[in-house]
Every structure is written in structure tokens, then in C-alpha cells.
Amino acid sequence: MELGLHIADFTFPDGPSALADDLSRIAVTAEDAGFAKISVMDHLWQIEPVGPIETDMLEAYTALGYLAAVTKKVDLLAWVTATVYREPGLLAKAVTTLDVLSKGRAYLGIGAAWNEDESVGLGLHFPPTAERFERLEETLQICLQMWSDDEGPFEGKHYTLGRTLNVPQPLRRPHPPILIGGGGEKKTLRLVAQYAQACNLFGGPEVEHKLEVLRKHCDTLGTDYDAIEKTVMFPLDPGADGENVDELLGQLEGLSKLGISHVHGWVPNVASITPLEILGTRVVPAIAEW
């Protein structure tokens, strides 16, 4: 099992003027501590319960480009991209750029989007739920086409691309892994089975059931359930002095027994660095053989 760091809060003690340095320090420490992935949210305003919407938030792909420059090993992704915030051709190009500049460390984390308030507030197109899922599937198809030798065109219900030229291609072949976030049983997990290399669930009591639903979709579609990386979003709080480590290890062991291979989460007080060091010393080595 591996750990991943989700950076959801950019309101650090020294403010925006030191934000770049703080972000670099956090990312480098997490990488040195043995975290396998680092992600940021694809939000433009802060979300509850992380904090008030007026607190600091960075645009995801710009932040990931910065993280590519200050890290060397960790995989990088938006957890998860809001499919309607960018046209699919531009999104495929952004992930390709991240992959090339990180020397092959990009994932495409993606979902159907949900935050209508920030979309309306900033003038972004936010169609009804059913249409967002249609657009999500077309976006996945377009990205896969752009990451192949097929230069198009692409004609879908919502998107038309005259030529899906993408030069350079990603370094990661056949393409950056696709992670689809969410546990919706009819649509989201079907899309995982059909298009993705990783799923993401929340680490609650329904994990086992959701995985079984995913398995059934794989059986129906003739895809390989075992080849899909099973991830959960789960809080990683070792405690100020490591007092929560034993409890956390017990929770992670339970997830491992269900088939979860990657646990991704936010770390309280991450800018202090100490929680990352505790996780790197006492948790990452303990779960490595699970």
C-alpha cells in the first residue's frame, strides 16, 4: 500500500507572499518521506469543510506545473479535474504538458464536477448532472484519442474537434493513467471499468460494496478488474506527536484487506512539516508490504 498527499488548503501561516516556498517545502518533504502521489483540488474557490470560500485557492494545473519543477519522483494530478471547467482538447494538452515537464509523472484525475456556486460565480459553463456525465465520457474519449496515433476528427454530442493533433505526446505510455473520482454505481463506476486505470472512493463503510459494483461492471464490459488501481480518499492525521499512528495503521490495514492499494488524503497542519515526517517514519514503511 502507498500513501498520497492531497493539498487542499493553501492558507499557510506566512500568507500568499511565502506560498510558493511553503508549497515547495511541503512537496519536497512529502516526496522524501515516501509519498507516492501529490494532488491538488480542481477548485477555484475554497470548499467546505476545508475552509471559508474566501481563503486562498490556486488554479490546479498551474500549481501542478510548479510542483513538477520542485519534485522528482512523485506522481502529480488534480484530484479531481472538473470536466466542464476546460475544453477537452485543452485539458488533454495540459495533462500532456504536465507529463512531459515532469518527465512522465502525470495522471489525469477527473470527475463530473459538482461545485455550481464557483462555476456560476466565475462564469463557467455548468450544465445539469446528466449532461456533465455525457461530457465526462466524451472528454475521456477525446483524451484517449489525442494520446493515440489517431488525429481525428472527433464528433460527439457535445464536442467536435477537427483534428486531434497532440505534439509532443506524453512520455508515459500508452498514456498518463486515468483516475476517475466518485462512487456512483450506475455511471461513475461504469466509466472507471470502461476507461480508467484507477478509481477513487471515500474511505467509509461502503468501500467493499462499491468495489463489488466495479467488479460487476468490469465483468460486463470484459475489462480487467485487477488491473485497476483501487484508491480511497481518507484523512491522514498522525497526531501532533504521533499519538494517532496506531489507530491510523489499523484503519489502513482494514482498507488494504479490501483491496485498496493507495490511500490519498489531506494532512492537518501540513505546513508545519512535522506530520509529514511522522507519516514518513512510522506509517509509510509499515504499510509498504501490504
pLDDT digits (tens, 9 = 90+) for 224-233: 999 999 999 9
Q: What is the CA radius of gyration of the chain?
A: 19
Amino acid 103: pLDDT: 98
Residue 70 belongs to a domain = yes
Q: What pLDDT sits at residue 203?
A: 85
Decide if 203 is inside a domain: yes
Domain region containing 205: 2-283
User: Rounded to an integer, what distance in angstroms lies between the CA atom of residue 280 and that of residue 275?
Assistant: 9
Distances (CA, A) of 66 to 28, 31, 94: 12, 15, 13
Distance CA 212, CA 193 (A): 12
Cα separation, 220 vs 239, in Å, equals 44
Q: Are 37 and 74 in contact (CB under 8 A)?
A: yes
Q: What is the CATH number of the domain that holds 136?
A: 3.20.20.30
Instruction: Examine the pLDDT at 86 and tell me if it is beyond 90.
Output: yes
The count of domains in the chain is 1
Is residue 191 within 8 A of residue 211, CB to CB? The reply is no
Q: Which of 178 and 48 is assigned the larger pLDDT?
A: 178
Look up residue 2 and give its amino acid: E
Whether residue 152 has pLDDT greater than 90: no
Show the beta-strand stretches assigned E in 216-268.
Answer: 229-233, 262-265
In a domain, 220, yes or no: yes
Reply yes or no on whether the pLDDT at 204 is more than 90.
no
The answer to whether 78 and 61 have CB atoms below 8 angstroms apart is yes
Give the pLDDT of residue 149: 96
Q: Which residue has the cell 484507477?
A: 198
Per-residue confidence (pLDDT) for residue 38, from 0 to 100? 98
Residue 290 counted as domain residue: no
Amino acid at 167: V
Mean pLDDT on 52-71? 97
- β 262-265/81-82 pair status: unpaired
184 in a structural domain = yes
- Specify the residue for cell string 483516475: 179
- For the question of whether the overall pTM of this predicted structure is more than 0.85, the answer is yes
Mean pLDDT of the chain: 97
pLDDT of residue 266: 96
Q: State the average pLDDT over residues 169-178.
A: 98
Q: Which helix (H) or strand (E) holds 142?
A: helix 129-146
pLDDT given for residue 3 in this prediction: 98
Average pLDDT, integer, range 254-270: 97
Structural domain contains residue 24: yes
The answer to the question of residue 289 being in a domain is no
Q: In this structure, what DSSP letter does residue 7 have?
A: E
In a domain, 51, yes or no: yes
User: In 142-279, at which residue ranges do the beta strands (DSSP E only) sit?
Assistant: 154-155, 160-161, 178-181, 198-202, 229-233, 262-265
Strands 81-82, 178-181: pairing is: unpaired
> What is the average pLDDT across 29-55?
96
